[in-house]
């Protein structure tokens, strides 16, 4: 008989709410102690033992200097080959401090102030704020009603971004433009298919738009659902993806990421300034490398817990909040809930009336109103209590209490 390497059968079940409330990071400290936080993408999880051991060893030996070498990219390449049958040369990558900062550094290489960045809302809020802070113009190509890429909307948006006409054959004004892809997509959990990405790549190539992809949620997909790296897609040879172990292994505060380009993007990656690489922390790299090379057993256990919680959420909503629309997602550990029938502002309603903190759907751009994003990466007790509170609040409101 084999035993689990974790304190429980699933790392999501290892910590009690009292233990979680001892944490001092954003998720558990941003709201009052009587609020259940199911919002920002931190997992309520026992960390992977190899990560704990690697960081502890670094502390004991004083291995806290500047990062050196290419161990992160090598570890990522090894994982990519094992889990996704994706081969790339670690020497052709570029280290960046984290995924969003890495995406912005790539944008600064590929575009200039006033150029357009196309996004597909509802989408991760920093896609709007960060790009606008860099002086780029946002053009939206919303997802379809079932949260897939809308090629017609993208065609129109790419034409707008470059100044082309829809029936043209290439860039119009000569202005540079980027499509900021989220793959898998946050907040909807959509995992784009290879066929969808090929259609995207063909459009981008025709319009002269470069694809830059946030692939931080790549390791988190449902059984039987394949993640497709954008740089492996025919027609996307000039695309760039930024990946990190931070979301899948709960290492958001240990910042490190890798930018990986297709064969036609090598020169662009080399143009990312050297000082960007110096923003990567050595202890962060140690933790991420341990996760990528030794933490896949832990990851698989967490993925089972996430799948369980997706189904549990569906059952809980059916029992307590049947008016909320939800479908278990293909990727990420996030749930996108249509709660428009509960309140005009469901985020504020659930916070004030149920003491449950979710993400406000309006922050995700067009299509987000009436929605909230719920973080499923918690234990069953917290999730159950949160939905019970939400359901009771909705019931009380409907009866005038």
| Rounded CA Rg of the chain | 21
Give the pLDDT confidence of 275-311 residue by residue, as tens digits. 999 999 999 999 999 999 999 999 999 999 999 999 9
Angle at 341 between CA 337 and CA 343, to 5 degrees: 90
CA atoms of 105 and 43, how far apart (whole Å):
27
Note the pLDDT of residue 3.
42
Token code pair at residue 306: 């996430």
Provide the Cα torsion 17, 22, 23, 26; round to 10°. 80
Give the pLDDT confidence of 31-82 residue by residue, as tens digits. 999 999 999 999 999 999 999 999 999 999 999 999 999 999 999 999 999 9
Type and span of the H or E element at 17: helix 17-20
Instruction: Tell me whether strands 94-96 and 257-261 are parallel, antiparallel or unpaired.
Output: antiparallel
Poorest-confidence range of 119-128, 162-171, 260-269? 162-171
Rounded to whole angstroms, what are the CA distances from 18 to 34, 45, 357?
A: 12, 13, 17
Confidence label for 167 from pLDDT (cuts 50, 70 and 90): very low
At 355, give phi and psi (nearest 5°). 60, 45
Note the pLDDT of residue 230.
98
User: Has residue 154 got a pLDDT over 50?
Assistant: yes
Q: Give the orientation angle of helix 380-398 with respect to helix 346-354, to 10 degrees.
A: 100
Note the pLDDT of residue 401.
74
User: Has residue 220 got a pLDDT over 90?
Assistant: yes
Note the pLDDT of residue 173.
59
Give the pLDDT confidence of 322-365 residue by residue, as tens digits. 999 999 999 999 999 999 999 999 999 999 999 999 999 999 99
Report the SS3 class of residue 60. helix
Rounded to whole angstroms, what are the CA distances from 313 to 122, 152, 297, 335, 347?
A: 21, 34, 25, 9, 17
């Amino acid at each position: 008989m084999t035993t689990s390497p974790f304190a429980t059968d699933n790392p999501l079940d290892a910590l009690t709410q009292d233990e979680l409330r001892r944490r001092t990071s954003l998720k558990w400290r941003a709201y009052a102690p009587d609020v259940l936080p199911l919002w920002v993408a931190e997992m309520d999880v026992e960390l992977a033992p190899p990560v704990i051991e690697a960081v502890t060893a670094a502390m004991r030996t004083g291995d806290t200097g500047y990062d050196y070498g290419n161990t992160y990219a090598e570890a990522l390449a090894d994982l990519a080959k094992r889990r996704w049958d994706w081969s790339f040369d670690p020497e052709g990558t570029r280290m960046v401090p984290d995924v969003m900062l890495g995406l912005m550094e790539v944008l600064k290489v590929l575009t200039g102030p006033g150029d357009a960045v196309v996004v597909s809302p509802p989408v991760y809020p920093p896609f709007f704020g960060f790009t606008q802070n860099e002086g780029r113009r946002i053009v939206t190509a919303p997802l379809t009603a079932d949260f897939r890429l809308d090629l017609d909307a993208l065609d129109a948006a790419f034409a707008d971004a470059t100044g082309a006409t829809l029936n043209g054959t290439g860039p119009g004004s000569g202005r540079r433009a980027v499509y900021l892809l989220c793959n898998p997509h946050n907040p909807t959990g959509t995992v784009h298919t290879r066929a969808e990405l090929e259609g995207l790549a063909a459009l981008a190539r025709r319009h002269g738009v470069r694809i830059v992809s946030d692939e931080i949620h790549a390791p988190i997909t449902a059984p039987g659902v394949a993640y497709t790296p954008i740089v492996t897609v025919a027609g996307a040879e000039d695309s760039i993806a930024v990946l990190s172990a931070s979301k899948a292994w709960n290492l958001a505060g240990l910042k490190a990421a890798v930018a990986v380009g297709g064969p036609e993007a090598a020169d662009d990656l080399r143009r990312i300034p050297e000082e960007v690489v110096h923003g990567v922390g050595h202890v962060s790299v140690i933790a991420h490398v341990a996760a990528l090379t030794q933490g896949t057993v832990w990851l698989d256990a967490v993925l089972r817990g996430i799948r369980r919680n997706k189904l549990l959420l569906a059952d809980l909503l059916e029992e307590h909040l049947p008016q909320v629309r939800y479908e278990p997602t293909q990727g990420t550990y996030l749930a996108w809930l249509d709660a428009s029938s509960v309140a005009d502002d469901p985020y504020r309603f659930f916070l004030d009336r149920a003491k449950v903190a979710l993400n406000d759907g309006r922050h995700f751009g067009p299509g987000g109103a009436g929605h909230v994003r719920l973080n499923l990466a918690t234990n069953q007790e917290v999730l159950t209590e949160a939905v019970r509170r939400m359901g009771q609040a909705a019931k009380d409101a409907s009866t005038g209490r």
